[in-house]
Amino acid sequence: MNKQQPDLCPPPAPGKPLTTDPVKSHPLGVCRVCGAITYRKEAINQRCGRSPRGHRCSGTYATAARDAVWKRCTSCGGTGKQGGAPCIYCRGIGWSLARPWCF
């Protein structure tokens, strides 16, 4: 039972070249509650610092350092930008979880 996961990012627009910005490295951790990301190794297993709606998130960062956990955004090519603005499909990260909450 090997189900194919749907692609969350659309393909790039035809005739529209990807930006020449460098590809970003993938995040190292994801909050188990709100989905916030971190690039800091020290934050793994620590409480999330995000404050949605004025209250601090109660989640902790789980490790998501393996390359297999992340998939490069096909819309921005992993740069996190589309035409100088943050990519709307990956929220400017350049990556999305290969299978949401699979860490």
Residue-wise burial string across 2-31, b where 16 or more C-beta atoms lie within 10 A, e elsewhere: eeeeeeebeeeeeeeebeeeeebebbbbbb
Whether the CB-CB separation of 90 and 72 falls below 8 Å is answered with no
pTM for the whole structure: 0.66
Q: What is the pLDDT of residues 36-94, one digit of tens each?
A: 889 999 999 999 988 878 888 989 999 988 888 889 999 898 889 988 899 999 888 89
